[in-house]
Amino acid sequence: MTTTMTAPPPSVTQRYLEEAERYSAHNYHPLPVVLDRGEGVWVWDVEGNRYLDMLASYSAVNQGHRHPEIIAAAREQMDRLTLTSRAFHNDRMGPFLHELCDAAGFDAALPMNTGAEAVETAIKMVRKWGYEVRGVPDGHAEIIVCEDNFHGRTTTIVGFSSEDQYRAGFGPFTPGFRLIPYGDIDALRAAIGPNTVGFLVEPIQGEAGVIVPPDGYLRDAAALCRENGVAFVADEIQTGLGRTGRFMCCDWEDVRPDVLIVGKALGGGVYPVSAAIADSEFMDVFRPGDHGSTFGGNPLGAAVGSASLRVILDEDLSRRSDELGTWFMDRLRAIPSPHVDEVRGRGLMIGVVIRESSGTARPFCEALKERGILAKETHHQVVRFAPPLTVTRTELEDALVEIEAVLR
C-alpha cells in the first residue's frame, strides 16, 4: 500500500531563503534564519522567533541594535543634509573627527566608509611616509603582516592573506608585503629590513578564531617598530571601541600605535563609518588629490559616527565588556563539555574552540539557533560569542543555560 504525501507549503522563511539563493551571489554561507527586526541585544525572525544576537554583526553593533541615540542622530541628520562630497565642507565632519581624535588621542583622522577602505588608507599612508619621511627608495616599501590575518577583501588586502580561499583565483596581487607568524616577536625582529615601513597587525585576530597573542607581544612589537623606524599599524576594526574590555585593545598593553584603524562599531550598526587615525607626521603625507572617497566624511555618516562614539563613552561600554566578559568566560570554562578544547578571548570577544573529534563548530551554531541564540562559527572549529556590549548579566545567565545544553 502506498500513501501519497503532499509536501507542506513552504514556510515564510523558506521563501526568503529560496529567493536569496536564486538572486544572490553565493559568497556567504549564512545560518538559515531570516531576520526582520532588532532592538538592543535582540533580533526577531520573520516567523516571530526572538534571538539573542551573540555575533553583533561582527562587532559592528557594540551599542546594540537601533540604539535610540544613534537612530535619533541619524533621523535628525537625514532631515537636514546627507551628502556633500568632499568638494565642499559640511558642518558634521569636523566635530566628528575632533571627537574621534580626542577619544583616541591622535592629531588627525581620515574618514572612509568600510573597514577595508580604512586599511587601504593606512597602507597608502605608511608607504608614502616611508618614501617621503624615511627615504626608502621609490617602489621598494615593505609592510610586514601576520599569518592568519584578516584585514578585508580588496585585491591588495587578500593578496597578503595566508588563507588560500581568500586568494585563490583573484591574483595577480600587489607586491610589497611580507608574512610572519602571529605572536612571534623574534619573527618580527628577523623580518624587519631597511625598506620595512610598517607592521600591520590585529591586536587579537578575530576572524582567525579569536587568537590572543602572548602577553607583552603588542608592547614588544611596538617597541621594536619604534627602534627601527617602522610604523606600528593597529587594525582595531573589530577589537576597538570597547569590544575587548578597553577602549582600544592596544590599551591592554599601554601601546599607542602610529596608525590606528577603526570601523565597524564606529557606525553603530546604522551606517558604514571607518577611519585611519594618526599624528601629523603620518597624516600630512596626504595632500589634495592623493586619496579620497565620495562618501567618506559625509554628514550623515559623521552624525552617526559622533553618536556611536558618544554611546560607547557615555555608557562606559569598555568597562561593561571587561567585567561581563571576564565573568562570562569563567562561566563558559566551567561548563563540563566533552566537545570544548579551549575558551579564549578578552572582554566580550570570546571564542569557544570545538575539538576536532567533535566535528566542526557549525552544528553547534545551528543547535544554538534552535535555542534562541545566534552565533556564527569562524574558522571551522570556533564558536564566537561577541554580543552587543549593552547586554546584561541576566541576559547572559539565560544564554548560558542554552549554551550549556548545547555544549554538553
Residues in touch with ligand PLP (CB under 6 A): 58, 114-116, 119, 150-152, 202, 206, 235, 237-238, 263-264
DSSP-derived pairing of the beta strands 373-374 and 50-53: parallel
**Min dist. Cβ of residue 200 to ligand PLP (A):** 10
* Residue number, 45 or 120, with CB nearest to ligand PLP: 120
Residue number with CB closer to ligand PLP (237 or 324)? 237
Selected catalytic residue, list 53, 220, 235, 322: 235
Q: Which is nearer to ligand PLP, 45 or 235 (CB)?
A: 235
- Closer Cβ to ligand PLP, 57 or 358, answer by number: 57
Q: Which residue is nearest to ligand PLP (CB)?
A: 115
Look at residues 110, 126, 107, 106 and name the one whose alpha carbon lies nearest to residue 118. Answer: 110
Of residues 119 and 136, the one with the C-beta less far from ligand PLP: 119
The burial of 140, by beta-carbon neighbours within 10 Å (0-12 exposed, 13-18 middle, 19 or more buried), is given as middle
Q: Give Cα 281 distance to the centre of its chain.
A: 26
Q: Shortest Cβ distance from residue 113 to ligand PLP (Å)?
A: 8
- Starting at the edge strand found earlier in the chain, the sheet holding 340-346 runs 340-346, 349-354, 382-385, 376-378
Catalytic member of 106, 150, 160, 286: 150
Q: Among 219, 250, 220, which residue's Cα sits nearest to residue 234?
A: 250
Distance CA 260, CA 245 (A): 17
C-beta closer to ligand PLP: residue 210 or 340: 210
For residue 286, indicate whether it is catalytic.
Answer: no
Q: Are 59 and 265 in contact (CB under 8 A)?
A: yes
Least CB distance to ligand PLP at residue 237 (A) = 4
CB of 67 to ligand PLP, least distance (A): 19
Q: How is residue 254 annotated by DSSP?
A: T
150 flagged as catalytic: yes
Cα 147 to Cα 163: distance, rounded to the nearest angstrom: 8
Greatest CA span in the chain, whole angstroms?
86
Shortest distance (Å) from residue 209 CB to ligand PLP = 12
Minimum distance between the CB of residue 81 and ligand PLP, rounded to whole angstroms? 24
Active site annotation includes 235: yes
Give bridge partners of residue 179 from the DSSP assignment: 145
Quote the least distance from Cβ 259 to ligand PLP, whole Å: 13
Residue matched to cell numbers 573529534:
357
Q: Cβ distance 235 to 202 under 8 Å? A: yes
| CB-nearer residue toward ligand PLP: 58 or 131 | 58
Q: Which residues of 104-125 are buried (b: 16+ CB within 10 A; e: fewer)?
A: bebebbbbbbbbbbbbbbbbbb
Listing DSSP states for 176-239 in one string gives: -EEEE-TT-HHHHHHH--TTEEEEEE-SSBTTTT-BPPPTTHHHHHHHHHHHHT-EEEEE-TTT
Other beta carbons less than 10 A from residue 303's beta carbon: 30
Catalytic one among 264, 282, 295, 385?
A: 264
Residues classed as catalytic: 150, 235, 264
